Amino acid sequence: MSASDNQVRIFDTTLRDGEQSPGASMTLEEKLAIAEILDDMGVDIIEAGFPIASNGDFEAVSEIAKNAKNSVIAGLARAIHADIDRCGEAVKHAEKGRIHTFVSTSPIHLKFQMNKTEDQVVDIITDTVTRARNLIDDVEWSAMDATRTPIDYLCRCVETAIKCGATTINLPDTVGYATPDEYKKMFEDIIERVPNSDQAIFSVHCHDDLGLAVANSLAGVAGGARQVECTINGLGERAGNAALEEIVMAIRTRSDILPYSCNVDPHYLTRASKLVSAASGFAVQYNKAIVGKNAFAHESGIHQDGMLKNAETYEIMRPEDVGVKATSLVMGKHSGRHAFKDKLKELGFELGDNALQDAFRRFKDLADRKKHVYDEDIEALVENEIAIAGENTKVLSLTVIAGTGGPQKAILTMDVNGVHETREATGDGPVDATFNAIKAIVPHEATLQLYQVHAVTEGTDAQAEVSVRLESGGRIATGKGADTDTLVASARAYVSAMNKLEMRQQTGNPGALQAV
């Protein structure tokens, strides 16, 4: 079952390992939108969350499970009965559900984190994999910190998990420590030495602490693994996980030496990247492989000359293959609702009636203020609409008095749970005054950790896309806002971060995962 076929299963963990990255928390609506695109693009398994972590996580996994059309929906569970049972409850709604349970196996984790002996951990594997398997047929077991686990002991753990019914065995490089040769050899050794290894599919799961996550993942596949765990934009704990778009395009582009296939349709990659960036508030670096703004931009004269003669001189992939569209002038203020809806469809967005109504109103407003409305403008607007859907606190209007004369003053009206509130505030500059006005309406203790602005398109009338990250009591949330007025975008981003923080406080989503 492991290396005998060349089909590589793509397991996306953006909504679990990705969301664990501090500040990347997403709302239910955002998670549903991301899961939908992952399902449409052909991702084989979507890890939708960690159901025991909070009611919010449980609800997200259950809802995603109910809506999934093709993908297997997995939930994560520590090696604890309560975790496994809760996970089973959430994924049971899926046509194809999976329980993914894990326990640490490395000496350093056993000693300092778990205070357990090797024998005790083997007993835990027997008990918990059996329990999961009694709830569902599809069980994945992970050896946390596998790459720092002695191979003899790892063989024993893997054999036990398979014997108890695990159908997928994941051997993560949890701390991003492995090198490609080492990682490949680990899979070769395990598959060769574990007597029942042919009864499971082996999986790679790599973190990018040394920038080797994608290289290690491909090396693991060369060693016999046939499932790759990865995230859109490489979102994830610390330096992140292996980037799904890089894995998929490496397999497609270098099929001459990577003789594998996968089900993901790469045309969705750009849109998925934008959606995850909007939802998580994590901007994609300009020079990011595949989905960065500059990934297909050829600036130097010699490159441009070659490109004009034959694109293949400098281009190993075509931008349209990953869903990059030529920037087009889309619509103006005379465009109607029908044309707007068609445009959204072309860009891959399908909104419910209320969200469509709001997005159209904001589009009209934008078209009044901005000469040319581009695809990117519509995308920023709709992503913003998705991000704020369901939020109870909203910016209604903002007037700012700024300039050399000072003091800068902001007059802000917000809708707070249906009640309209207006306050004035001054500050050290217009952004500070705006944020002070928000604090006057909704007093809170959160501190600002990041404030970032970038232009969605060219030109001085471009929309500004602002990211704001707030921290309160160890919890972090990032919000985004877009508008042609940078201050309005700033206020929206701040309020969105505030809403997410409040949601996190209510649902009690924990920080980093602790192995048992």
User: Which option in ligand KIV, Zn ion, none does residue 102 bind, with CB closer than 5 to 8 A by kind?
Assistant: ligand KIV
Q: Of 212 and 497, which CB lies nearer to Zn ion in the complex structure? A: 212
Structure tokens given for 366: 């934008």
Residue placing its CB nearer to ligand KIV in the complex, 102 or 202: 102
- Name the token pair of 429: 């500059």
**Tokens 């290289």, residue located:** 215
* HSE-CB for 43 with a 13 A CA cutoff: 31
144 binds, among ligand KIV, Zn ion, none (CB under 5 to 8 A by kind): ligand KIV
User: Interface with ligand KIV by CB under 6 A: which range of 168-176, 299-307, 379-387, 423-431?
Assistant: 168-176
Region binding ligand KIV by CB under 6 A among candidate stretches 167-175, 190-198, 374-382, 466-474:
167-175
Contact 484, 370 (CB under 8 A): yes
Which residue stretches of 281-352 are H helix?
Answer: 301-309, 337-346
Binding region for ligand KIV (CB under 6 A) out of 1-9, 169-177, 320-328, 389-397: 169-177
- The tokens describing 434, both together, are 């705006």
Task: Kindly state whether residue 145 participates in binding Zn ion, applying the rule CB under 5 A.
Answer: no
205 interacts with ligand KIV by CB under 6 A: yes
Specify the stretch interacting with Zn ion by CB under 5 A; choose among 14-22, 91-99, 242-250, 360-368: 14-22
Q: Cα 485–283–397 angle (5° rounding)? A: 25
Distance set, CA 188 to CA 3, 104, 212, 222 (Å) = 10, 21, 19, 9
Q: Which of 11, 102, 141, 282 binds ligand KIV (CB under 6 A)?
A: 102
Reading across the β-sheet that carries 408-416, which strands appear in turn? Answer: 393-401, 408-416, 419-427
**Distance (Å, whole) CA 316 – CA 331:** 33
Measuring CA to CA, how many Å separate 408 from each of 311, 395, 402, 430, 512?
A: 51, 19, 5, 5, 40
Q: How far is the CB of 452 from ligand KIV (least distance, A)?
A: 27
Q: How many residues bind ligand KIV (CB under 6 A)?
A: 10
- Out of 3, 11, 17, 291, point to the residue binding ligand KIV (CB under 6 A): 17
Task: Give just the sign of the alpha carbon dihedral 309, 315, 319, 325.
Answer: negative
DSSP helix/strand/coil, 485: coil
Within residues 136-165, the interface with ligand KIV by CB under 6 A covers 142, 144
493 is written with which tokens? 């981003």
203 three-state secondary structure = strand
9 is written with which tokens? 């299963």
In the list ligand KIV, Zn ion, none, the entry touching 98 (Cβ below 5 to 8 angstroms by class) is: none
360 binds, among ligand KIV, Zn ion, none (CB under 5 to 8 A by kind): none
Determine the size of the site formed for Zn ion (CB under 5 A): 1
List the single partner that 142 binds among Zn ion, ligand KIV, none, CB under 5 to 8 Å by kind. ligand KIV
Q: 401 touches which of Zn ion, ligand KIV, none (CB within 5 to 8 A by kind)? A: none
Does position 17 bind Zn ion by CB under 5 A? yes
Residue 174 contacts ligand KIV per CB under 6 A:
yes
Of 158 and 488, nearer to Zn ion (C-beta) is: 158
| Cα(414)–Cα(441) distance, integer angstroms | 8
Question: Which residues are at the interface with ligand KIV (CB under 6 A)?
Answer: 17, 102, 142, 144, 170, 172, 174, 205, 207, 513
Question: Which residues are at the interface with Zn ion (CB under 5 A)?
Answer: 17
